[in-house]
Structure 1
């Protein structure tokens, strides 16, 4: 259960204020059709994070336990620093008529997640924990926890949440995970 809970919490916090959450706000404001947007976010996240999880699991198999511990520990510390860098939304215009609201959301979210903090976190979490299903399920739930309210509540929610505090908390969690991993604390290594 630990991989699911850690993955959910880290990604939910990491997603707040992220460019994909801003994309969710943009799509909600533009289309005003929350159900296909939420379903599109879910499908894109499952696909993207499943691929990221497989990459993380594969990396874990090829590296020895000592090297893997250092790679993951340093990755978590890098994620902690990256969490403190604010995101800006990329332009998500175009393609709506061709793919509809659902298709546009799937494509935009899948592409926006490529190389994003939460995708990199999924790779690191899948390398850290041996249960790929729990990691992908957790990161997907974390994405949905952050993005569904953004779609449903829109702009008002984004203004009410102190993004610097949320990012600082997420950075702290990544830093703790990194230090614990480097010092080989925990039953997973």
Structure 2
């Protein structure tokens, strides 16, 4: 349960202000919200299943170096904080592709999200969490955290339009990543 709750929270925060939230809002202007959320859920579940497999394998292979893994994971979270501060924007070309997508809505959204998430910070955060936590809890929690964050973006986007408080979201997410990173480093160094 701890892995599930931690992963849900971390990935929810990681997804705030991410490019895929902008994609979700763009797709929701073209397709039914239900279809967009199904596509996001399927794509996220597949990408995060691969992520936890990689992370769990690394955790087992390097399990005797748990302190070092915590320090490396903490440094990764500090990097995610910097990445979040840098920002992530949907280019006009990406938005145009999302609007022009043809074919079944779920397939179009799922494919776009699958490709967008490969190598994204949420995928890397999921790998990092799976090095130390139960893979199933991380998988379900990370998938839920991302879907909830994207659903929230669709809802807020529908209500507020494009006037989202991006700076507040970006700084809040970066602070959360930095705190997670500092705690992991302190744990890895035996300070906690």
Q: Are residue 139 (structure 1) and residue 138 (structure 2) matched? A: no
Q: What is the aligned partner in structure 2 of residue 121 from structure 1?
A: 125
TM-score (norm 2): 0.85
TM-score (norm 1): 0.87
Task: Give the Cα separation in 2 of the matches to 1:158 and 1:178.
Answer: 33
1:1-189 equivalent positions in 2, closer than 5 A: 1-31=1-31, 33-63=32-62, 64-90=65-91, 91=94, 93=97, 96-97=101-102, 99-129=103-133, 131-157=134-160, 159-184=162-187
Question: Structure 1 unaligned runs (5+)?
Answer: none
Cα 1:35–1:132 shift into 2, 3 Å: same
How many residue pairs get aligned? The number is 185
CA deviations on 1:134-157 (whole Å, 9 max, x unpaired) are 111111111111111333453544
- The question of whether the paired residues in 2 share the 8 Å contact of 1:40 and 1:103 is answered with yes
The alignment yields a C-alpha RMSD, in angstroms, of: 2.4
Task: Give the Cα separation in 2 of the matches to 1:160 and 1:3.
Answer: 34
Shift of 1:37: 1.1
- The question of whether the paired residues in 2 share the 8 Å contact of 1:150 and 1:157 is answered with no
